[in-house]
Every structure is written in structure tokens, then in C-alpha cells.
Amino acid sequence: MLKIENLHARVEGKDILKGLTLTVNSGEVHAIMGPNGAGKSTLGNVLSGRDGYEVTAGSVTFQGRDLLALEPEERAAAGVFLAFQYPVEIPGVNNTYFLRAALNAQRKQRGEAELDSMQFLKLVREKLKIMQISDELLHRAVNEGFSGGEKKRNEIFQMAVLEPKLAILDETDSGLDIDALKQVAQGVNALRSPDRAFLVITHYQRLLDYIEPDFVHVLADGRIVESGDKTLALKLEEHGYAWVAERDPALA
Ligand code: ADP
Ligand code: MG
Ligand code: MG
């Protein structure tokens, strides 16, 4: 589904990704862990096509297409979804209206018919059942005055409605109490499917108690420096990221 090869990217003239290689197959959940400043959010931003991130070398193939050649909205329509580390508030824009506009923009890009408000409401009701989110949140402005946990749950709800092929969750666990964390994990788990893949970016092992990854990777200094199964996350929790650096002289 996703093949990242030797990816180099810079932000504001500074090299952040320095030869990142990663392959993700349909149905898989990959956790990306790593110290602060390693480039985890940069990876998510580069994949979703956010402004200001310059790719200087390497390639990204998504479902056989050159992802880097696509505009951000084309990537979204192709099924790439990024849940932000810091979800944005859009005051004055109704959450339901926003979601329907986002979904219909993607459907239009794909040449599919737009959903009318009845069809959209039906979809929203189905997804509300999956994601334990209060429908009161749907009638408020996007993320405005939402608590940290509500914002993160709203991101997962957006994901449920947009039904992406590749979902990238950037520290969706940060700042969540244990109940909100479990709710977010439950939503993600409900959306796991053979034709969908997840990149779960997290700083801490805790989330992976609830979202069980197929693979765990350590991102340090702009590269994947170690990969393994879920036990790698436990080792990191025990030994800290210094342990990875000690094993890799290039990082010392
Ligand atoms: P992580 O998510 O792993 O904590 P980031 O990808 O956010 O790391 O950041 C990696 C490095 O890139 C950091 O040194 C950060 O300061 C820098 N960086 C990220 N975004 C920007 C930006 N918009 N402008 C300048 N520097 C940035
Ligand atoms: Mg960070
Ligand atoms: Mg980050």
C-alpha cells in the first residue's frame, strides 16, 4: 500500500528526514516511536502534503501512485488521512457541515456522487455508534472549546466518516486521560480492516496496550533505526531511547 524509500525532507532549510525507508501493507498497523524532535510529525506532514515541507530526495508510492506528485486534496481523496497532533479549531464552522463538505470534496475528486443531507445523516448515525462521541459535539463549531480528549475523539470520528485507506495518527494519545485514551483506541480498533492501514505515531508505549501494532519502528534523527514487533515498544519503555542510540553508533 505504502512504500517510502530513502525519503529526505527539510523544513525551513533544515534537513529533518534523512533517508527514511518504510513499507506498509494493507491491513497492517505500524507504530512509529521516537524521541521528541526525531521527525515523526514531519513524516506525517510530508505524507499528507502539508505546505512548507520540501522533499529533497527519495520516493513515496501509495497504491502504485507517486504520492509526492499529488496535491494535498488529491492525497486525501486517494485515501490518506492525517489526524493532527494539535487539532485545529475552526470557529464559526459547524462540525457536521465541515465533515460533509470534506467528505463530498473527496467524493467529487474521485468522481463519485456527493451525499445529500439525508444520506450524510444516515452515515453519521452509523459512525456515531462506532465512535463513542456525543452528538452534541457535532452541532458545535469544529473543535471550538473542545477539551483535549474531545478534539482527539473528533479526529477519530472524522476518520470514521472519511473511511481512509491509510490513516496516520500523530500522537493522538498525547494529553489524554486513561478513559479518553481507551475510547480513542476503541474507535481505531473498530476501524481496523484488511483494506486499511494505520501509522500510529506515539511517544509512549501506553497507547500500544490498547492498539496492538503489527510492527513497531523507532524513528531517530530522521531515519527508521530499528524495527520489530510489539515487544520492541516494551523494550523502549524499559530502556528509553538512549538504548537505541547506544546500539547505533551513527546516532551517538
Ligand atoms: P517529532 O514529531 O518527532 O517530535 P517534528 O517532526 O515535529 O518531531 O520535528 C522535527 C524537527 O523539525 C524539530 O527539530 C523541529 O523543531 C523541526 N521543525 C518541525 N517543523 C518545523 C517548522 N515548521 N519550522 C521549523 N522547524 C520545524
Ligand atoms: Mg513532538
Ligand atoms: Mg510530533
- Minimum-distance ligand 1 atom for the alpha carbon of 222: 10
- Minimum-distance ligand 1 atom for the alpha carbon of 170: 2
ipTM over 0.85: yes
Q: Residue 38 corresponds to which amino acid?
A: A
- The neighbour count for residue 249, using CB atoms within 10 Å, is 7
Distance 16 CA to ligand 3 centre (A): 12
Is the Cβ atom of 32 under 6 angstroms away from ligand 1? Answer: no
Calculated CA dihedral for residues 177, 181, 182, 183, nearest 10 degrees: 110
Distance 11 CA to ligand 2 centre (A): 15
- Minimum-distance ligand 1 atom for the alpha carbon of 38: 3
Helices of type H across the chain: 40-48, 72-78, 95-109, 117-130, 135-138, 148-162, 178-191, 230-239, 242-247
Distance 76 CA to ligand 3 centre (A): 20
Q: Rounded to an integer, what distance in angstroms lies between the CA atom of residue 247 and that of residue 220?
A: 12
Q: Rounded to an integer, what distance in angstroms lies between the CA atom of residue 133 and that of residue 152?
A: 10
Classify 11 as helix, strand or coil. strand
Q: Which residues lie near ion ligand 3 (Cβ < 5 Å)? A: 40-41
Q: Rounded to an integer, what distance in angstroms lies between the CA atom of residue 96 and that of residue 7?
A: 36
Model pTM score: 0.93
Asked if residue 184 lies in contact with residue 152, where contact means CB atoms within 8 angstroms, the answer is yes
Q: Which ligand is nearest to the CA of 35?
A: 1
- The neighbour count for residue 119, using CB atoms within 10 Å, is 12
* Minimal-distance CA residue to ligand 1 atom 18: 11
Q: Rounded to an integer, what distance in angstroms lies between the CA atom of residue 29 and that of residue 193?
A: 10
Would you give per-residue pLDDT tens digits along the chain (252 residues)?
999 999 999 999 999 999 999 999 999 999 999 999 999 999 999 999 999 999 999 999 999 999 999 999 999 999 999 987 778 888 888 989 999 999 999 999 999 999 999 999 999 988 988 777 778 888 888 888 888 888 888 889 999 999 999 999 998 888 888 888 898 899 899 999 999 999 999 988 889 999 999 999 999 999 999 999 999 999 988 888 888 877 766 665
